[in-house]
Amino acid sequence: MTTWLPNISSSSDPIYLAIAKAIVSDVSAGRLKPGDRLPPQRELAQALNVAIGTVTRGYVEASRRGVTRGKSGRGTVVRDLAAEQPDSRLRVGPGGGLVDLGTNVPIHAEAPDLSKALATLAQAQDASRLLHYQAPQQDPRYLAAGAKWIGECGLNVGPESVVVTAGAQHAIMTILGALTKPGDLVYADELTCPALFEVAQLLHLRVQGIGMDEIGLRPDALRSACRQRNGQALYCMPTVHNPTSTILTAERRQELAQVAREYDLLVIEDEVHRHLAPGAAAPISQTVPERGFFIAGLSKAVAPGLRVAYVAAPPFAKEQLNDAVAASLVMVSPLTVELATMWVEDGTARLTADRKRVEAKARQALAREALGDYSYRSYASAYNILLDLPEEWKAGEFANEARRRGVALATASAFSVPGCQPPEAVRVSLGGARDRSELREALAVIAKILSDGFPGRGTRM
């Protein structure tokens, strides 16, 4: 059993609902793990000084939202959705397996030719040097490749500004690990990339959600947050935000840069999706190079298994970041940095990113065909759509129903900063299907669930 206690002190919801929401949000954030048993209702009622019926109602609501289930003799347990098998009669996809539209997959079918690259590497006389201890962050060729890729992502910097990290998540950890201390506050969109939560938890940082609108992060909301509390950094995704796919206008970026300057914030600009909207406005870091950290990752543009991302860092922070890379993993694997360098140098990275964008656009057209009658947020060549569910659905229930029918989805609560209210929405990752035909089938499953409506509660249409 877990010693878990819900944090409901700042909630204005009725207590039972605050308990249910705390369970959902702690499951999303990994503070409650699959198989964890919630405290017995009587004990929790005593701890919170509320009636036992209030706790019962909260537990029932959490279970209705799909994250827990009551087990006879075992109390209320956090569900292990990954282990729960879908209904075999309803599975789609070749081989009848689960189609994973829950992970932000950058269309694996469009990947560079690894065998060819490895053969080229194997023929190089000095390939064995990749097995030695070394510092990829000091190799001028690797840094030049980083500067080239960052340039292709819209920011012109020299190799001296580049830090090589093991993927964008590691870049976020490196920046925050080097420049913040436990207890510091990081601002982020109220829906943001879960990578930030994982890093914040590890580094004991607080995250505060900032309001968004149809363009994305709101500078006025950031300013008012800064007036109230002294945050150290802003984490944002200006181009094709995950999960809403918003793209900040040039004006928004300027305004955010202005607020960052006024309140002395570091700006962590996560641009892993930049290749999906190459015409997007100039990076925020261009306006505030003295505080901007521009992350140009290769996971979403080339291949996630490479584990390489480049950071353009201000001069004051460069060595601190390199020290943090060394502290966390000694060095980024030279073999993968070499591969990344080859692909950036010979244009394979650019070509792959372009091909992924073209395929993403085709997949968006399929989503429009299947779900065009419903409300969703996306961008014409984004990997994901955020499907706002009709009123009768809770996101957890919808995701469970989709999983039962063979399609994995992510609920918006996985992206919601603790303390913010997630919408009843699910993120559908179009890149997760192996090909368009598998995607068409999976989207048809989602459309069917929507048209069937919630069992017993009727349809919206």
Please state the closest distance from residue 58 (CB atom) to ligand PLP, in A.
31
User: Residue 211 phi/psi, 5° resolution?
Assistant: -60, 150
Instruction: Kindly give, in sequence order, each residue whose CB lies less than 8 Å from that of residue 59, ignoring residues fewer than 6 positions away.
Output: 19, 20, 23, 38, 41, 68, 70, 76
Q: Residue type at 327?
A: A
293-322 footprint of ligand PLP as x/- string (CB under 6 A): ----x-x----x----x-------------
Of residues 195, 284, 387, 439, which one binds ligand PLP by CB under 6 A? 195
Give the total of residues touching ligand PLP (CB under 6 A).
14
Contact range with ligand PLP by CB under 6 A, out of 115-123, 140-148, 163-171, 310-318: 163-171
Please state the closest distance from residue 10 (CB atom) to ligand PLP, in A.
27
Strand-strand pairing, 233-236 and 410-411: unpaired
Of residues 242, 245, 246, 286, which one binds ligand PLP by CB under 6 A? 242
Choose among 297, 175, 166: nearest CA to 240: 297
Is 234 a binding residue for ligand PLP by CB under 6 A? The answer is no
Of residues 77, 212, 237, 276, which one binds ligand PLP by CB under 6 A? 237
Rounded distance between C-alpha atoms, residue 382 and residue 361, angstroms: 7
Tokens at 391, concatenated: 């009123």
With b meaning 16 or more CB within 10 Å and e meaning fewer, what string describes 384-421?
A: bbbbbbbebbbbbbbbbbbbebbbbbbbbbbbbbbebe
Question: Which helix (H) or strand (E) segment is 188 a member of?
Answer: strand 185-189
Is 360 a binding residue for ligand PLP by CB under 6 A? The answer is no
85-124 footprint of ligand PLP as x/- string (CB under 6 A): -------------------x--------------------
Please state the closest distance from residue 192 (CB atom) to ligand PLP, in A.
8
Tokens at 319, concatenated: 């060595």
Of residues 167, 283, 422, 423, which one binds ligand PLP by CB under 6 A? 167
Between 163 and 272, name the residue whose CB sits nearer to ligand PLP. 272
Rounded distance between C-alpha atoms, residue 321 and residue 316, angstroms: 10
Between 54 and 104, name the residue whose CB sits nearer to ligand PLP. 104
User: Residue 451 phi/psi, 5° resolution?
Assistant: -75, -30
Please state the closest distance from residue 57 (CB atom) to ligand PLP, in A.
35
Residues found near ligand PLP in the complex (CB under 6 A) = 104, 167-169, 193, 195, 237, 242, 270, 272, 297, 299, 304, 309
